[in-house]
Amino acid sequence: MVGIMGWRGWRALVFGLTLAGFTSFAFERTNDPLCEIRVLQAGGKTVYRQALTNSDILERVRLPSVSRHQRLVFSFGPKDGVANEPLRLRRKLEGHDQDWEEAGGDMQVSLAVYAASDQVLSYDVFTMAGESEGWTGDVLTSRFETRRESFILPAGARRLQVLFLSKDWKGLGVSAVKDFRLLRSKAGGGEENVWPDSGLNEGENLDQPEGKPRYWWRSSLGANQARVVLLSGSPKKHALMIFDDDLHLPATWQADFPLADPAGPGPGARLTLEWKQAYSVGIGGRQRAGYDSLAPGRYVFRVKTVTPSGEPVGREVTLPVSIAQVFWKRVPFVIFVVGLFAAIVSAVARAVVRRRLQIRLDRLEHRRRIEHERLRIAQDIHDDLGASLTQINLLSQTAHKKVEESHPAWKDTERLRALAVSLTQKLDETVWAVSPRHDTFESLLSYLTDLASEFLGSAGIRARIDVPAELPAWKLPAGLRHNVFLATKEALNNVIKHSRATEMHLRLVLLKEAFELMIEDNGCGYSLPASPLVAGARPVQHGLDGIRQRIESLGGKFRIDSEPGLGTRVAFTVPVKQGKP
């Protein structure tokens, strides 16, 4: 099998396995935590300090609501027994951070341009921190990503120096670069590489970690961390690697590129430094992590340890932390406020309802008193004045019978009798209008039809009455009944005095919350707006104006249609408001 793979292949395989697990052999079988959370400070005051116990199950640290305005600082690091081991620390504040984070640590590719006097003309640094995309835990299986950085060559440049190094003394990690090229634009378009041996195929013992590339050399400090990696695949390729597993020593690869060649790039040329890289870089040792203005809620501060190549090792430790909500946003307080508000609203609503109910009761009581008073007045008028008028009527009839027609007093007794009859009728109308017992639409219509039949019948005019079989149970105020009665009586009076009619038609039409009353005759009619006069009678227009005023005072509408020889039709619409008392 050795013959199949070759000695170089076996060494590359062993070296790759070593890189993948170099620092994990001492810890890979342990499930104990290798790190600890030592101190938590809020606003500069210590609110938690690690207990002197071996337990890693920590109780929740409960902070007051004022802590949301303070800076929280967690102090953590490896345990004392592994303080000098190459362990990187990653932390995450669950509830705030989306991903695991490291406190720092990076590796660099730096570019320095020197003058002939070794004066530095320009210096650029290109960092590698965290993990590259496609990192799997070792260089041999990770995917390399291409990086390009452009710069302008300053005037007087004589030498380029490229450094590949781990600069942070506490930094830990693995980083590799390959296919290093320095590109310049060609006159005909495109780019050409002027960096010698980009594939790292020239040098001594390149298949060994301690190999020496022709154009690169290691610094003496941390030289064992700067290595050469034989990559898998064909043709054979190599990569420069820094495997930093020492908390106290950095490592460096260095290469110089002279610019004295007249055919090389001149001042002002735009050059591009291109390479492929794969890395996992972090930092070890004791660290601090600060958070400002955390919202109230529950958090868990988590810390875990990984090897320099990013492989997890040991069990993570956690510290639950909660920041209290301000009291006015807490659930009990919100429930109390909502309950108090509901109680206040309920009390106000009850007060308003009781007030409205009291107002309604007062109005009902006031209306009851008014109706009682109206009933009393109507009763007094009927009982007192009615009896007196009846007595006057009887006495006038008796006196009229005793006086002979030739006697001078006979006419006076006749007028006295007629006046007593007229006063009795008017008294009856007044009692009907005042009495609350007749405050219904049915009572109004019954009184109007009786009036029309009796009034027109005495004048020899036939009355036709057309009303619906079913009437609404409307409550009508006394003022409305009285005005409608007087308007109807005036219209009937005009029919008797001015129309010369032989027939009158009274018709009722029910509308929505209103009714229309029409009085139509077959008399002589007249031309509007003329006002014909009849001997000994007042103008018709004067009576119609009175009807109009009465109907419009009720919010209704009045109209009249008449033509000579075709009779007259009077109609008025009266609204009926049926609101709650």
As a whole number of angstroms, the distance between CA 155 and CA 267 comes to 5
As a whole number of angstroms, the distance between CA 139 and CA 160 comes to 28
Domains annotated on the chain, with CATH: 31-100+286-327 (2.60.40.10), 107-283 (no CATH), 439-581 (3.30.565.10)
Which of 551, 32, 88 has its CA nearest to residue 311? 88
Residue 146 bridge partners (DSSP): 276
- Sequence-distant (≥ 6) Cβ neighbours of residue 238 within 8 angstroms: 178, 199, 200, 201, 206, 207, 211, 213, 228, 229, 230, 231
Each of the 581 residues of the chain gets a pLDDT tens digit; together they read: 333 334 334 333 434 444 444 444 445 556 889 999 999 999 999 999 986 444 555 678 999 888 778 899 999 999 988 988 899 999 999 999 999 999 888 899 999 999 999 999 999 999 999 999 999 998 999 999 999 999 998 988 999 999 999 877 788 999 999 999 999 888 788 889 999 999 899 999 999 999 999 999 998 887 889 999 998 877 888 999 999 998 888 899 999 998 866 556 666 788 999 999 999 999 988 999 999 989 999 999 999 999 999 999 999 999 999 998 888 888 888 899 999 999 999 999 999 999 999 998 888 888 777 777 766 776 666 666 666 666 776 777 777 677 666 667 777 777 777 777 777 777 777 767 777 777 888 888 888 888 888 888 888 889 899 999 888 888 888 888 888 988 998 888 888 888 888 999 999 999 988 999 999 999 888 887 644 433 333 445 557 888 899 899 989 999 999 888 888 999 999 998 865 54
Q: Is 277 exposed, middle or buried (0-12, 13-18, 19+ CB in 10 A)?
A: buried
pTM of the model: 0.57
The pair of three-digit structure tokens given for residue 163, joined into one six-digit string: 């450094």
Residue 292 bridge partners (DSSP): 71
As a whole number of angstroms, the distance between CA 75 and CA 84 comes to 17
- Sequence-distant (≥ 6) Cβ neighbours of residue 55 within 8 angstroms: none
- Sequence-distant (≥ 6) Cβ neighbours of residue 203 within 8 angstroms: 197, 211, 212, 213, 214, 216
